[in-house]
Structure 1
Amino acid sequence: MMAKLNFSILITTKNRKADLVITLNKIKDLHKDDTVECVVFDDGSTDGTYEFVKYNFPKVKIQRNVSSKGYMFCRNKMLNETQATYAISLDDDAHFITENPLGFINFFFDENTNCGLLALRIFWGLEEPNAIMTTEISTRVQGFVGCAHVWRMEAWQNIPNYPEWFVFYGEEDFAAYQLFKKGWEIHYLPEVLVHHRVDFKARKNNADYTIRLRRSLRSGWYLFFLFYPLQKIPRKMVYSIWIQLKLKFFKGDFKALQAICLALMDLVGSIPKIVINSNRLTQEEYEAYQKLPETKIYWQLENNQK
């Protein structure tokens, strides 16, 4: 008789074989028994990712799109297909630093039956932190970060799929609002530390800076119109645009103005989708949501650590 599948580690990748190999080597001991699986979805890579994983990591389940369909398509498909009790979504350039992370995750879910999703503690940087201890404690929060989180699959099955029309950014907040509307909680679990191997500050100088900013802005505006009480939206929109102008355009970041204009055009073009998919918070729900602690995105070394 096959053991019940407890955890599924889900990774989406595209043309990042070197990063993916590091991650798979780092987590290979986590799926050494039949209660844990690792699934990689290759979204149209042209660097040999699929063949490399298939022949060098035989315990990893590998899927692929011949041509790219987007990482939200891949995440939706993996989440909808897994038979596991819990699903860990992990970026191809992220890995666990904490030993026995699955034990901490399992225990927390067992003790907190209203928790539908766990947001993990994430350190961003090219090198691992030189200390890993923290004084933070677990707490309920508004949302989670895409690169490392854990679904209770019962909660995932209770809400709509990630919105593939967002393309990039915003899908985590979309899911967070949907969970809130359904009465599920999101908790931050600092006991589990993940290293996200990126140089976040250098992204501003990347060639895709404008398109990233455009997608980030428009996804935030999509969320306003999908979930916020109608009377809150005008002020939120004006403030959002003003902040972008003040902090970027007026300081010489002229690419920001282009991104703002393109994002506004995207917003107008997406009105039909917004009308169909809106799930607006009531005023009372909005106020309750705003009282929750904000999403824990970056963990930094604490002052008492050396």
Structure 2
Amino acid sequence: MDDVTVVVASRNRRDQLLRYLPRHEVPVILVDNASEDGTADAVSEAMPHVHVVRAHTNMGAAARNAGAELAATPYVAFADDDSYWEAGSLGKAATLLDVHPHVALLAAQVLVGADGRGDPISAAMKAAPLGSPPDLPGPAVLGFLGCAAVVRRDAFLAVGGFNPTLHVYGEEALLAMDLAAAGWGLAYVPALTVRHLPLPTGRDIEGRRRRQARNDLLTAWLRRPLPIGAAAARAAWRAGGPDRAGLGDAARLLPWALRNRRLLPDHVEASVRMLAGAHA
């Protein structure tokens, strides 16, 4: 476990951090996204062993990039302020990444709440719609949950990490595509386990759906063929509500998306289409 650092990005979640940061077995870097509730001071006082980085602005998921850059280990595990890695999981992850040098990301199973119910996304990855190639330590994936992934640090940074423009919600998809496009393997390993204990209230469901819709569209426009992006835009318009609002948000960023557009290699695009068919 000396080869892994946990990176946590957080904003205004002091109490959750004080509760769950001590559960991690390896060194932790906390990137505080300009919290207004005294997070940085509270964590520094209670856990001086945690490396606290005070961001001047809310960078969203891209704060994880800053943490990864500071990590001195070859592997970086991501966690949220309301999640932690179960004992032994990060040691297993480091061993698997040692044995599989062409793999850049391992996705763990996620157990939600005090009763440990399985996350539906973990179940979808376990179903292995992309198969289980013998050179991977588990089913191939092209997505993951941000609080439940271990990455090869150099590969993660080489593709740019999490895109700052996407900020939060759905940011994992673009990173997974870019790692696969760079030739790296990504796998789901249910022997790795993350506990996720989200608060039952206080989440802006409509706002989250709007941001998710925006980021899904931007990801399509950045990496997918034009007919795919156009179809996604029409679907968002027909859906109305937060999806249509997300379409408007994405449209304002269309010039940025076109400047940064880079189509996926054919084999990765084929895998993305296969996943879409399986989910449908």
TM over 0.5: yes
- In the other structure, the counterpart of 1:7 is 4
1:229-268 per-position Cα deviation (integer Å, ceiling 9, x unaligned): 22333334334554xx3xxxxxxxxxxx342332122121
SS in 2 for 1:92: coil
Considering only CA atoms, is the larger Rg found in Structure 1 or Structure 2?
1
Name the counterpart of 1:69.
58
Instruction: Give the TM-score taking structure 1 as reference length.
Output: 0.77
Alpha carbons of structure 1 residues 186 and 241: separation in structure 2 relative to 1, 3 Å? farther
Alpha-carbon displacement from aligned partner over 1:193-216 (angstroms, at most 9, x marks no partner): 1111026xx66xx56222211101
Match of 2:196 in 1: 196
Structure 1 match to 2:69: 80
**Counterpart-to-counterpart distance in 1, 2:278 and 2:172:** 10
Identity %: 23
1:23 to 9, 20, 39: 20
Farther off after superposition, 215-224 or 278-287: 278-287
Q: CA 1:142 to 1:26, structure 2 compared with 1: closer, same or farther past 3 Å?
A: same
Q: Which residue of 2 aligns with 1:118?
A: 106
Indicate yes or no: 2:219 matched with 1:223: yes
Residue aligned with 1:164, SS? coil
The match for 2:129 is none
Relative distance call for 1:209 and 1:175 in structure 2 (3 A) is: same
Question: 2: distance between equivalents of 1:9 and 1:174?
Answer: 21
2:268 to 285, 290, 295: 285
Match of 1:149 in 2: 149
Change (3 A) 1:43 1:103: same
User: Could you say which residue in structure 1 is the equivalent of 2:116?
Assistant: 129
What one-letter code is carried by the residue in structure 1 that aligns with 2:262? N
Unaligned runs of 5+ in 1: 32-36, 246-256, 297-306
Looking at structure 1, the residues matched to 62 and 45 of structure 2 have their Cα atoms a distance apart, in angstroms, of 25
Q: Determine the C-alpha separation between the residues in 2 that align with 1:130 and 1:71.
A: 27
Alignment partner, residue 303 of structure 1:
none
Tell me how far apart the structure 2 counterparts of residues 142 and 197 of structure 1 sit (CA, whole Å). Answer: 24
- SS of the equivalent of 2:206 reads helix
How many residue pairs get aligned? The number is 263
Displacement of 1:275 in angstroms is 1.2
Structure 1 vs Structure 2 CA RMSD: 2.7
Q: String of CA shifts for 1:279-304, please: whole Å, max 9, x gaps.
A: 212444311343469999xxxxxxxx
What is the distance in 1 between the residues matched to 2:139 and 2:163?
A: 27
Contact 1:5 1:83 in 2 (8 A): no
The question of whether the paired residues in 1 share the 8 Å contact of 2:31 and 2:66 is answered with: no
Q: CA deviation at 1:140?
A: 1.3
**Where does residue 229 of structure 2 map in the other structure?**
233
Mark the CA change 1:286 to 1:41 in structure 2 (over 3 Å): closer, same or farther: same
Normalised TM-score (structure 2): 0.84
Deviation, 1:72, is: 2.7
> What SS does the aligned partner of 2:57 have?
coil
